[in-house]
Structure 1
Amino acid sequence: MGWMGVILGCFCGFWMVKWALKSVNCWYCERELGEKRHQLPPGDFGWPFIGNMWSFLRAFKSPNPESFISYFVNRFGHTGMYKVHMFGNPGIIVTTAETCRRVLTDDDSFKPGWPSATVNLIGKNSFVGIFDEEHRRLRKLTSAPVNGQDALSVYLKYIEDNVVLALEKWAEMGQIEFLTEIRKLTFKIIMYIFLSSESEAVMETLEREYTALNYGVRAMAINIPGFSYHKALKARKNLVAVLQGIVTERRERRRKQHLPSERKDMMDALMDAEDEYGRRLNDEEIIDVLVMYLNAGHESSGHITMWATLFLQNHPHVFEKAKAEQDEIVKNRTPGQQGLTLREVRQMEYLSKVIDETLRIITFSLVVFREARKDVRISGYTIPKGWKVLVWFRGVHLDPDTYVEPKKFDPSRWDGFTPKAGNFLPFGAGSRLCPGNDLAKIEIAIFLHYFILNYKLERQNPASPLLYLPHSRPKDNCLGTIIRVAATRNV
C-alpha cells in the first residue's frame, strides 16, 4: 500500500502540475479580455511559452498530421473554430469553408498576421508584411507580368523549351532526386521571369539557400545554432547578399545605358515603379519582393508537379485518360506546328482536373495567417482585436461533407462539380489570392504534357515515408530514374 500511495501521489501531482501550468498559459492569454473571454471558441492554449507548437510539430512529424486538428475536434466537437497559442501568439484556428472564406475576404476586419519569425525570413516589405494601399499598389505592379493571356503566351515557349531539355537531360543522368531536379527547373523559370537570366552557379546558390529558408518558416523561432530557424536566418542573410549584388549590377547597367533594356523583366518594373508622390522602391524593398516571389514561384509548382506525376503513375486508369487527351491535342495540330500553344493548354480539361485534385489533396500551403483589426463575431464566437487567425486549408480540402473519400485521388470528382466559395482554396482567396496561380498551373500542365507522352518514372523507394514540413514530400525527395518510353519526341 505504501508504494501504491507513492505512485498515486506522483500521478496526482503530475496532473496537478500540468493543470496549473496550462492554467497559467490560459490566464496569460486571456488576462486583458474581460468578459470577452467567455465568447472565445473552445480550445487549448497548451504549455507556457511553447503553447501548442509541440503538439503541432509532433503531429506533422508523424505519419498522421491530421491528428493535430483531430485532437481539438475530439475534445471540443466540430465547432470549426478553436483557440490556440501558436508561433508565439494567442490565436484562433478556423477550419471550415465558410469561416476561412470570411477571414480571407473581409479586409475591413482582418489584415496579414504572419508571425514575426516568418516576416523576418521573408521580409517586412514583402506581401507577408504589408497591407492596405501599399499592398494593393505592389500587387498591381507585380501581378501584370505573370498574369493574362499576353504575359502567359510570352513565357510559354520558354517554359516548354526548358521542360523538354530537362526531361531529356534527366533521362540520361541515371538515378536522380526527382523533386530536387523539378525544383531547379521551376526556379530557373521564375528567375527568367524576374531577372531575365542568371548564371547556373547563382541559381544553384539561391535555390540551395531557399531550401534552408523554408525549413525555418514552420519551425519554432529558436535562434540558436543547430535549430532550423537559426539556419533559415543565415540563409536569408545569404539570399539578401546575392540579390543585393544583382540589384546593384542592374542599377549600374541601367545608369550606363541611360535607356531601358529592350525586354523588361520584373526587376526593371520594380526599379521603374513610383507612387503618386514620385517615390521609388529602394533596394531593401525590391530585395524583399524578390525573396518572396522567387520562393513562392518555384516551391509550390515544383512540389505539385512531382505529386501530380506520382498520382498519375500510381493510378493507371487516370494516366491512360490523361494520355488520351494529350494524344488528341497532338493529333489535331495544324501541319507544321511546333510545340504547344496557350489555346491547347486551355483545352486540357481532364489534365486540369488532375492538377486541381493534386492541389486539393496535397494542400501545399496548409495555413495562412491573419490578424483581427477589431473584435469580430463569427459563428457565434468572438475573435478579439489583435489576435492571430490561422486559416487551416487542410481542414477545408479534406472535409468529407464536401469531398467524398477526401484522401482518395479521384479527378473525376470534378466532373460537373464547382465547389462553393471557400471549399477550394489552393491559392487562397480575396485580395491576397496568389498572383501567380495561372502561371503555376500552366507550368505544371506543360511538364505533364511532355512527361505523359514520352517518359515514365521508376522510383527507387516507392514506400519511402512522407515528411510534411515544410511541405509534403517523400523523405528521399522521390529518388528514381526517368526513362524515355517514346521513340520520338512529341512536340
Structure 2
Amino acid sequence: MPSDYISGSGHKQFYRLTTSSLTRNKPLSLHVGSVEEIVTNALEECSKMKEPILFFHEMNKIAFKVIMTMFLGYATDDTVIASMEKSYTDLFSGLFCTPINIPGFAYHKVVKARKKQVKEIQGVLGEKRERKRNDPNSKIGLIDVIREAEDSKGEKLDEEYIIIILVMFLIAGRETSGRTATWATIYLHHHPHVLQKAKEEQEKIMKRRPSSQKGLTLSEIKQMKYLSKVIDETLRRRTNVFALFREAKNDTHLNGYFIPKGWKVLVWQSAVHMDPEIYPNPKEFLPSRWDA
C-alpha cells in the first residue's frame, strides 16, 4: 500500500473523505435497519446452534458483514462475504510479519491473500456499478459518496484508491468491533447490576417508541447514554490496539524529554488507561466514571 495514503497530506485527505462520507446524505441513518437485521439474524442463528460457538469469531463475522453492507449500500451474497472474510483473515494474520516473500513464510501468504482480496473487491465494485445502472435510485452506500468525492487536485478517485479505503475500513473496523463487542458482553455478564441498568435504558427507549415504528432508529441509538458509557469503559479496560507507532517529524521537547527528528515513538495507551492518577480504581469496571 503506498505510504502517501496513510501519512502526511495523504492521511489528511483520507480522513476528510471518510469522515465526510459518513456524515453526508445521512448514510448512518439509512443503514440502521440493515445493520439491525444483520445483527439480529446472526445472534438468532447463534442461539440455535447446538454446539458451543466461538463468540469472538462470530462477532468478527457480524462486523465484517456490517462494514461491507454500509460500504456497498446493500447486503451482498453470503458466499462472497465468506470468501472475502477468509482473504481478509489471511491478510490480517500476517500484517506485522517480516516481509520475506518466499513460499512458507507468513508474508508470502499475505501477498497472495492481498491479490485475491483485490480481485474479490473489484468483483463486488463491478456488481455495485451494474446495480446503480439498473436502478439509479438504489440505496446509497459509502462507496457512492466516495465516488463523488474529489482529491486535492479536483479529480475523481480511481478504483485503486477506493479499494484501499475499503481495506482500511475493514482493518480498522472488523477486529476492533468484534473484540469490543466480545469484551462488553463478558463485562456485562460479570457485572449484573451494569447489565440491569443498561437493560432498563433499552426498555425505556422501547416504551417511547411509536406503535407504527418497526425497527431501531439513529435517534434511539443517540439516546443510549448509559450503554455508550459501558462501551467507553470497555474500550478503556481492553484497548483494541496494543500501541500507536509514530515518527518524530521534527526535534521535539515533551515533558522534559528530547525526541530527535526521525526517532520512532511508541505510544502505549494501556499505560494511560490504567493510570490511577487519571482513572481511580483502574482495574474496576465502572461505566459511571464517564458521567462527568
1:191 to 68, 72, 77: 68
- Structure 1 residue runs of 5 or longer lacking an equivalent are 1-122, 417-491
- Where in structure 2 are the equivalents of 1:87-486 lying within 5 Å? 123-124=1-2, 127=5, 129-132=6-9, 134-147=10-23, 150-175=26-51, 176-197=53-74, 198-248=76-126, 250=128, 253=130, 257=133, 262-275=138-151, 277-416=153-292
CA 1:272–1:148: 2 relative to 1, 3 Å: closer
CA 1:148–1:311: 2 relative to 1, 3 Å: farther
Q: CA deviation at 1:142?
A: 2.0
- Where in structure 2 are the equivalents of 1:2-81 lying within 5 Å? none
Richer in strand (by share): 1
Query: Deviation per CA, 1:165-211, whole angstroms, max 9, x where unpaired?
Result: 22222111223221212211111111011123322111111112222
Richer in helix (by share): 2
Q: Structure 1 vs Structure 2: percent identity of aligned residues?
A: 46
Q: CA deviation at 1:222?
A: 4.8
Provide the aligned C-alpha RMSD in A.
2.7
Q: Report if the CA contact (8 A) 1:212-1:235 is conserved.
A: yes
Distance in 2, matches of 1:148 and 1:360, equals 30
Q: Report if the CA contact (8 A) 2:13-2:152 is conserved.
A: no
Structure with higher Rg: it is 1
CA 1:357–1:328: 2 relative to 1, 3 Å: same
State the SS of the aligned residue for 2:144.
helix
Q: CA deviation at 1:345?
A: 1.8
CA 1:126–1:233: 2 relative to 1, 3 Å: farther
CA 1:248–1:167: 2 relative to 1, 3 Å: closer
CA 1:277–1:260: 2 relative to 1, 3 Å: farther
CA 1:259–1:293: 2 relative to 1, 3 Å: same
Query: Deviation per CA, 1:422-474, whole angstroms, max 9, x where unpaired?
Result: xxxxxxxxxxxxxxxxxxxxxxxxxxxxxxxxxxxxxxxxxxxxxxxxxxxxx
Q: Report if the CA contact (8 A) 1:312-1:319 is conserved.
A: yes
Q: Report if the CA contact (8 A) 1:215-1:229 is conserved.
A: no
CA 1:240–1:125: 2 relative to 1, 3 Å: farther
Query: Deviation per CA, 1:246-301, whole angstroms, max 9, x where unpaired?
Result: 345556x38x9499564332323333333364433223222211111122222211
Between 1 and 2, higher relative CO (CA 8 Å, sep ≥ 6) is seen in 1
Q: Report if the CA contact (8 A) 2:27-2:140 is conserved.
A: no
- Structure 2 residue runs of 5 or longer lacking an equivalent are none
